[in-house]
Chain A
Amino acid sequence: MSAFTGLLRKEWLHILRDRRTLFVVIFMPILQVVLFGYAIRTDISGIRLAFVDPSPDASSIELRNRFAATDAFRLVRVLPNAGTLDRLFASGAIQQAVILDDDFANRLARGLPARVLVVADASEPNSGSAMQSYAVAVIQGFQRELAARGGGVQIFAESRMRFNPTQASSNLFVPGLIAFVLTIISALMTAISLTREKETGTMEILLVSPLKPLEIIVGKVLAYVVIGFVSVLLVVAEARLVFSVPLRGSLLLLLGEGLLYILTSLSLGILISSRTSSQRVAMIGALAGTMLPTILLSGFIFPIESMPWPLRLIANIVPAKWFVIIARGVMLKGVGLDYLWRETLILLVMTTLLVAAATRSFRIRLA
């Protein structure tokens, strides 16, 4: 019976005995995927719409009226050309534009396929994709009716996002969610479990024992590394099965980068626990010091590009920002280290500094 494996075993017993925490840790990520996937995509009404119709005729007006008649849309402009759209989008006067081809009516009349372009302000990714699907639904309804009347007419609805063109769908939240989950499990749980040992006095016993400080720390955190890994796999699998979020790059690279990020968060958790002696303070510290920055400043929910410059600057020291970029790159763009080496390097430097600081803080507590 080795001292170290005994320590590992003990930590698992703690976790397995604390059913409530275990339940939260396993099910929270799964629940959050569902929350972010469905609940946050709220119903949208009163979308400010511009309708660009270069050559109005009966059929194009009918399409326009269909939009005007839908609760979801509020027709604020009818324009002869697309020239002023940029300004209208930038000022926020419109959120979406439906642009008909020059010869839209003409082609329809001759029974030829016609084109419609739908552009949406996607600076808020979830509402952007929702608006697009609403507009496309209206156009498809119109097309079905045309087909029933004359038959054979096709409308190509082409959709384009403004301000956030790479955004394919609400896929963006999954990489952020992975960062969030890893932060909770690694930083929060580590801080709490280390502080608990201080609070109950068992940490003293471990320190007085022949165990090396490194063994104590590794013995405590290894369980959370494993749980973190399992959660990442769960979230990736669920996102893929339920929301068809792709994993285009290598899973191995994603897990490797995940491990790096887990180390960063663990070090933060250890640092927090070294400054506190009660579980409650540790929890608040971990929430304020790791979870809030991960939610607010990582680009997980709110795009960093649209933040004022002081926040953009602060976001650079939030490890989650870099991990979110990496995870999005691997999952959504399928790129490898050749594209992500810079972000990986930044994360690596951060991790090295934090691990060093955590080791030092633990040693200071010994002295």
Chain B
Amino acid sequence: MTGKPSSVAIEAHELTRNFGSFTAVDHITFDVGVGEVFGFLGANGAGKTTAIRILTGLLAPTSGTARVAGHDVYTESERIKRRIGYMSQKFSLYEDLTVGENIRLYGGIYDLTREQVRERAASMLARLGLEQAVGTQVRALPLGWRQKLAFSVALLHAPSIVFLDEPTSGVDPITRRQFWELIYEAAARDTTVFVTTHYMDEAEYCDRISIMVSGRIEALGTPAELKERFGVGTIDELFVRLARPTAGATS
């Protein structure tokens, strides 16, 4: 699962974003390979959301460079938007629309043809075991199903990269496990997965992780590498140490 990426999906170099005198993202440099599951960790307010907004084309950086799916974040945000999928912790589906209506809406937004939407919806619902629920309003589905559905809908237009912003917050452990199976399936189809999470056990599932502290990336590597380099037993321990530098020695 680990190893150097063969080709690059996301590359960021000295990427910086200021809000007035506050530096939300401070010269971060990293790259993510095609088909990689990249864990983007950090405490609240560390700058994760700002970084994701830059990479998804919602926010222009102040300085530095970044390419997403081969497109420049300064000049080609429209192209980037067609190549990425996005799912936030807030489910991203319309609760008062049915499963089928949600799928058709997103298919339409990404310019899929009617046939494409029908085919992909059918195979997606079969995979999730949700064929019976196509006419059900999303609000009536259990939380775990909604989350899996939201993820699958984010992949409907076959994006090369999918951004997941704390996709499993508030979900029970079994559903979280199933959700990660979906993530691995997507990665196996060469979809790059860029995921933020607060669950440190999930960080262990990632190919590589980065840990952001106060706008900077303080650690970057495979979970095994990082544990060895910092001499800690778990990513959880490492995270706490980095997020609170006074509590332990950092290099």
Which of B78, B90, B111 is the one whose CB lies under 8 Å from A201? B90
Which of A2, A18, A201 is the one whose CB lies under 8 Å from B108? A2
Determine whether A149 belongs to the interface, using a CB cutoff of 8 Å to chain B. Answer: no
Q: Shortest distance in angstroms between A106's beta carbon and chain B's nearest beta carbon?
A: 78
Determine whether B74 belongs to the interface, using a CB cutoff of 8 Å to chain A. Answer: no
Assess the B91–A13 pair: CB atoms within 8 A.
no
In the assembled complex, the Cα of A9 lies from the Cα of B105 at a distance in Å of 9
In the assembled complex, the Cα of A210 lies from the Cα of B86 at a distance in Å of 12
Q: How many residues of A contact B (CB 8 A)?
A: 25
In the assembled complex, the Cα of A9 lies from the Cα of B12 at a distance in Å of 38
Interface flags, A3-26, vs B, CB<8A=1, else 0: 101110110011001100000000
In the assembled complex, the Cα of A204 lies from the Cα of B107 at a distance in Å of 16
Please name all residues of chain A whose beta carbon is closer than 8 Å to the beta carbon of B104 when the two chains form the complex. 1, 6
Please name all residues of chain A whose beta carbon is closer than 8 Å to the beta carbon of B109 when the two chains form the complex. 3, 6-7, 206, 209-211
Assess the B101–A201 pair: CB atoms within 8 A.
no
- The stretch of B25-33, B37-45, B92-100 in contact with A is B92-100
8 A Cβ contacts from A162-216 to B:
200-202, 204-211
Assess the A10–B101 pair: CB atoms within 8 A.
yes
Assess the B60–A13 pair: CB atoms within 8 A.
no
Assess the A208–B56 pair: CB atoms within 8 A.
yes
Determine whether A366 belongs to the interface, using a CB cutoff of 8 Å to chain B. Answer: yes
Assess the B60–A200 pair: CB atoms within 8 A.
no
Determine whether A252 belongs to the interface, using a CB cutoff of 8 Å to chain B. Answer: no
Which of B84, B96, B101 is the one whose CB lies under 8 Å from A208? B84
Assess the A5–B95 pair: CB atoms within 8 A.
no
In the assembled complex, the Cα of A202 lies from the Cα of B150 at a distance in Å of 11
Q: How many residues of B contact A (CB 8 A)?
A: 36
Assess the A18–B96 pair: CB atoms within 8 A.
yes
In the assembled complex, the Cα of A211 lies from the Cα of B82 at a distance in Å of 10
Determine whether B176 belongs to the interface, using a CB cutoff of 8 Å to chain A. Answer: no
Q: A200-B95, A210-B81 are in contact. Are A205 and B60 (CB under 8 A)?
A: no
Task: Select from chain A the residue with minimum beta-carbon distance to B88.
Answer: A201
Task: Select from chain A the residue with minimum beta-carbon distance to B111.
Answer: A3
Determine whether A367 belongs to the interface, using a CB cutoff of 8 Å to chain B. Answer: yes
In the assembled complex, the Cα of A206 lies from the Cα of B111 at a distance in Å of 13
Q: A3-B110, A209-B110 are in contact. Are A201 and B97 (CB under 8 A)?
A: no
Determine whether B35 belongs to the interface, using a CB cutoff of 8 Å to chain A. Answer: no
Please name all residues of chain B whose beta carbon is closer than 8 Å to the beta carbon of A1 when the two chains form the complex. 104, 107-108, 112-114, 117
Assess the A202–B94 pair: CB atoms within 8 A.
yes
In the assembled complex, the Cα of A17 lies from the Cα of B101 at a distance in Å of 13
Interface flags, A70-103, vs B, CB<8A=1, else 0: 0000000000000000000000000000000000
Determine whether B122 belongs to the interface, using a CB cutoff of 8 Å to chain A. Answer: no
Task: Select from chain B the residue with minimum beta-carbon distance to A4.
Answer: B108
Assess the A202–B93 pair: CB atoms within 8 A.
yes
Task: Select from chain A the residue with minimum beta-carbon distance to B116.
Answer: A1
Residue picked from A2, A9, A200, most chain B C-beta under 10 Å: A200
Q: List chain B positions with a Cβ less than 8 A from chain A.
A: 56-60, 78, 81-82, 84, 86-97, 101, 104-114, 117, 137, 163
Starting from the known contacts A200-B94, A209-B81, 4 additional A-B residue pairs (CB-CB under 8 Å) come to A3-B109, A7-B105, A14-B94, A208-B56
In the A-B complex, the 4 residue pairs with the smallest Cβ-Cβ separation, listed nearest first, are A201-B90, A6-B108, A208-B86, A1-B108
Q: List 13 A-B contacts (CB under 8 A).
A: A6-B105, A6-B108, A10-B94, A13-B101, A17-B137, A202-B92, A204-B88, A208-B56, A208-B57, A208-B163, A209-B110, A366-B58, A367-B59
